[in-house]
């Protein structure tokens, strides 16, 4: 068995060739990011003075741009680092579920998102909470959806920094004893990112995503073809993984994991896949990507071609096993084993130096695209559903764009402070909770796309119950090895011993409360019929006269917001 | 905004939607039936069944969505044309 006693003490010297390549590619991307403000903008709209222009890229992305944008948005650098790390540390259940997750994701997207596109384009909605506000005429419910979105997105942005950090660590940056010098590269990367997101809005990540995806596809295709042969072929890779994972962990008295999940973890596996798939398109950054598309069917065509990324993710996950066989030793600066370093370390160990640079750059740039989109989505939520709804009801599109741009800076600064100042595990715990929380917006949003049957207060009660249940049960998961809370996302389903993803249990609690409270309120003849949308809104396509009219108005006139009360 | 609602599409024929719904349901349910594929054998190029079977479903699910898309687009166009022609008359 491959033993993880680190012979290295964590001392790393700077690896110059890959570092230079990473820096060059980073500069290229930064230039593209700044030039993106002039991409597909009419001279009169330079400066991007409305949320439609800044926050949704002019709502004009076609099938291919959307493919790159959503691919870059959903398959983040943290995914690239964390999925193989999970495979390396504990095998299929915590890692490979990402593959069925990103398969069942697209049928769900196919069903739901074109309806959301239609209603949002008829009413000028920019965020999911805009839709909730219009559909249910309920400001508390819209605020709940907006806050959930912002809170769930923040740790996700922080984790993108963790992705960049793992690359920088492997390159040898950050071992400096001076804490400020050690973090300087990360700070520079994020300041540049903040600057071009501020100037170019959603256009910047859309263009950068093209570069990032080409790099990441190249890196992973080469890795999948070249590395297994180099370490002895798939058969020996899987048997090495089996040896490592079936060994008994002294801290828990149980095996570290399994290559093939046992019957006891079947329910955990499929609920993790399904729950994560239901949650992903409730995240504001995914919805931003959907609303930025040109036509109702763009997102449906993308549901057919986006799975190509899932194939790549599957290959990447298997690299976690390749690293087991290759004996990759992911030692951090403090000498401790850090599973997050597995993939960058594997690339540095086994690739020629220049190609290792390309692959590491792909991961680092892969963090910039989602970080940009997430910060845009979070600031759109703040602007539309907090600033405009509660502080300045008559905000003009210019003011909205200005607030959003500033908030995007604050959001990124917050993520940076978080990662530099706190333990990485705090960000990971919060991200785990964020996934559970965002899933609790599913009943209100998805039911709303099809029916107005639910009472708005019932949905609010369901949301609160789901959040409460999910948070408490995630807190109660104690890691047997370290004794810490938030030890994982799997717990027994209420009143049974079947272990499932907590997000799914919380979702069931949420949906049940929403149904029962609606029935009770109806029994007491409480009326709740407020709705600014109409059945025809959910089928409108890009040729619909009202969609055309609203877009034209939003583009040229200020204060012509159809949502204004 | 006016209070009356002009439909964007004519009435739906259930057939294409039921068929597309079945295809979409298959693409969601099949990859989640873990007991069906949680086994080491048969291996493909040394890769256990568990892994290559799930990767295979990337293609199958994408194909099913492609079929569903064609079915729904055809019906959708017919429904929209119905409204447009209705207006023209």
Distance (Å) from the alpha carbon of A545 to chain B's nearest alpha carbon: 10
Residue A492 in 3-state DSSP? Answer: strand
For chains A and B, CB pairs below 8 A equal: 119
- Within a domain: residue A86? yes
According to DSSP, the β-strands at A499-501 and A490-492 are antiparallel
What is the pLDDT at residue A415? Answer: 80
Does A297 sit within 8 Å of B31, measured CB to CB? no
State the pLDDT at residue A401.
Answer: 80
The beta strand positions in A396-502, using DSSP E, are: 490-492, 499-501
Mean pLDDT score across all residues of chain A: 80
Confidence label for A311 from pLDDT (cuts 50, 70 and 90): confident
Establish if A474 belongs to a structural domain.
no
Residue A71 domain flag: yes
Is the CB of A99 less than 8 angstroms away from the CB of B5?
Answer: no
Distances (CA, A) of B21 to A105, A107, A306, B40, B71: 15, 10, 20, 32, 10
- The answer to which of A367-381, A548-562, B58-72 has the lowest mean pLDDT is A548-562
Q: Is residue A164 part of a domain?
A: yes
Instruction: Tell whether the model's pLDDT for residue B87 goes beyond 50.
Output: yes
- Mean predicted confidence (pLDDT) in A170-184: 66
pLDDT tens-place string over residues A18-59? 787 778 888 887 787 777 777 766 655 566 667 677 767 667
Domain that holds residue A333: 16-39+49-442
How far is residue A118's CA from residue A378's CA, in Å, rounded to a whole number?
22
What is the pLDDT confidence band of residue A176, given thresholds at 50, 70 and 90? low
Query: Cβ contacts (< 8 Å) between B28 and chain A: which residues?
Result: 104, 107-108, 274
Q: Is residue A148 part of a domain?
A: yes
What confidence tens digit (pLDDT) does each residue in A444-496 have? 899 888 888 888 888 989 999 999 999 888 888 887 777 777 777 777 777 77
Question: Mean pLDDT throughout A153-174?
Answer: 81
Contact status, residue A282 vs residue A441, Cβ threshold 8 Å: yes
Taking CA–CA distances from A306, the nearest residue in chain B reads B62
The domain total for chain A is 1
Average pLDDT (B81-89) is: 66
Q: How far apart, in whole angstroms, are the C-alpha atoms of residue A401 and residue A52? A: 9
pTM: 0.82
Min CA distance, A296 vs chain B (Å)? 11
According to the per-residue pLDDT averaged within each range, which of A157-171, A324-338, B73-87 is highest? A157-171
| Cβ atoms of residues A96 and A265 within 8 Å | no
pLDDT in tens, A376-385: 888 888 888 8
Helix (H, G, I), strand (E, B), or coil: what is residue A61? strand
Whether B83 has its CB under 8 Å from any CB of chain A: the answer is no
Residue of B nearest to A305 (CA): B62
Mutate to test the interface with B, among A134, A296, A304, A321 (most CBs of B within 10 A): A304
Is residue A523 a part of any domain in this protein? no
Per domain, the residue ranges of chain B are 14-82
- The region of weakest confidence among A281-285, A443-447, A554-558, B56-60 is A554-558
**Can you tell me the distance from the alpha carbon of B6 to that of A472, in angstroms, rounded to the nearest whole number?**
47
Q: Is A158 left (phi over 0), alpha (psi -120 to 50) or beta?
A: alpha
| Predicted confidence band of residue B4 (pLDDT cuts 50, 70, 90) | low
A234–B47 C-beta distance less than 8 A: yes
**Using the beta-carbon criterion (under 8 Å), do B8 and A544 form an inter-chain contact?**
yes
Residue A243 belongs to domain with CATH number: 1.20.1730.10
Is the CB of A110 less than 8 angstroms away from the CB of B5?
A: no
Distance from CA of A145 to the nearest CA of B (A): 26
pLDDT tens for residues A353-393?
888 888 888 888 888 888 888 888 888 888 888 888 778 77
Question: Of A92, A236, A300, which has the smallest distance from its Cβ to B69's Cβ?
Answer: A300
């Amino acid at each position: 068995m491959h033993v993880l006693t680190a012979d290295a003490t964590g001392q790393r010297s700077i690896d110059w060739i890959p570092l230079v390549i990473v820096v060059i590619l980073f500069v290229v991307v930064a230039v593209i990011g700044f030039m993106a403000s002039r991409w597909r903008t009419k001279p009169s709209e330079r400066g991007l003075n409305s949320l439609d222009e800044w926050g949704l890229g002019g709502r004009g992305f076609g099938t291919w741009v959307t493919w790159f944008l959503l691919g870059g948005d959903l398959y983040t650098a943290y995914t690239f680092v964390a999925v193989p790390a999970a495979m390396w540390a504990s095998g299929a259940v915590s890692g490979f579920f990402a593959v069925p997750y990103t398969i069942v994701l697209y049928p769900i997207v196919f069903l739901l998102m074109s309806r959301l596109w239609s209603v949002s384009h008829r009413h000028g909605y920019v965020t999911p909470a805009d839709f909730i506000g219009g559909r249910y005429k309920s400001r508390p419910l819209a605020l709940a959806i907006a806050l959930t979105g912002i809170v769930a997105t923040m740790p996700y942005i922080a984790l993108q920094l963790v992705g960049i950090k793992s690359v920088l660590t492997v390159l040898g940056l950050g071992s400096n004893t001076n804490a400020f010098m050690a973090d300087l590269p990360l700070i520079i990367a994020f300041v540049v990112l903040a600057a071009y997101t501020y100037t170019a809005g959603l256009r910047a990540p859309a263009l950068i995503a093209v570069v990032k995806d080409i790099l990441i596809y190249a890196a992973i295709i080469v890795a999948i073809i070249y590395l297994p042969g180099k370490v002895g072929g798939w058969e020996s890779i899987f048997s090495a993984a089996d040896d490592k994972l079936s060994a008994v962990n002294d801290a828990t008295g149980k095996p570290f994991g399994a290559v093939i999940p046992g019957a006891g973890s079947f329910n955990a596996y499929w609920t993790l896949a399904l729950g994560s798939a239901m949650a992903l398109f409730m995240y504001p950054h995914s919805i931003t990507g959907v609303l930025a598309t040109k036509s109702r069917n763009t997102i449906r065509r993308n549901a057919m071609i986006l799975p190509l990324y899932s194939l790549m993710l599957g290959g990447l996950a298997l690299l976690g096993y390749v690293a087991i066989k290759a004996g990759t030793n992911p030692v951090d600066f403090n000498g401790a084993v850090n599973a997050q370093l597995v993939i960058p370390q594997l690339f540095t160990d086994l690739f020629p130096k220049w190609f290792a640079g390309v692959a590491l750059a792909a991961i680092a740039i892969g963090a910039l695209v989602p970080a940009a989109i997430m910060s845009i989505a979070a600031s759109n939520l703040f602007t539309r559903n907090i600033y405009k709804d509660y502080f300045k009801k008559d905000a003009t599109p210019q003011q909205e764009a200005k607030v959003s741009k500033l908030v995007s800076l604050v959001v990124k600064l917050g993520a940076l402070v978080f990662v530099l100042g706190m333990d990485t595990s705090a960000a990971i715990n919060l991200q785990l909770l964020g996934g559970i929380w965002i899933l609790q917006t599913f009943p209100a949003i998805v039911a709303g796309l099809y029916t107005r049957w639910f009472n708005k207060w019932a949905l609010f009660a369901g949301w609160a119950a789901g959040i409460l249940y999910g948070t408490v049960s995630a807190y109660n998961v104690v890691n047997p090895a370290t004794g810490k809370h938030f030890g994982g996302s799997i717990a027994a389903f209420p009143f049974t011993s079947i272990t499932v993803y907590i997000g799914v249990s919380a979702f069931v609690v949420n949906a049940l409360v929403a149904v029962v409270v609606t029935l009770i309120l109806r029994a007491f003849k409480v009326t709740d019929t407020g709705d600014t949308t109409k059945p025809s809104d959910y089928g409108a396509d890009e040729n619909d006269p009202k969609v055309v009219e609203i877009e034209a108005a939003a583009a040229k006139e200020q204060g012509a917001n159809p949502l204004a009360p | 905004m006016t209070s009356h609602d002009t439909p964007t599409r004519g009435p739906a024929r259930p057939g294409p939607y039921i068929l597309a719904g079945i295809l979409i349901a298959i693409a969601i349910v099949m990859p989640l039936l873990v007991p069906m594929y949680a086994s080491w054998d048969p291996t493909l190029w040394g890769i256990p069944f568990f892994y290559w079977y799930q990767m295979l479903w990337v293609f199958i699910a994408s194909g099913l969505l492609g079929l569903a898309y064609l079915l729904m687009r055809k019906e959708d166009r017919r429904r929209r044309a119905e409204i447009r022609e209705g207006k023209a008359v």
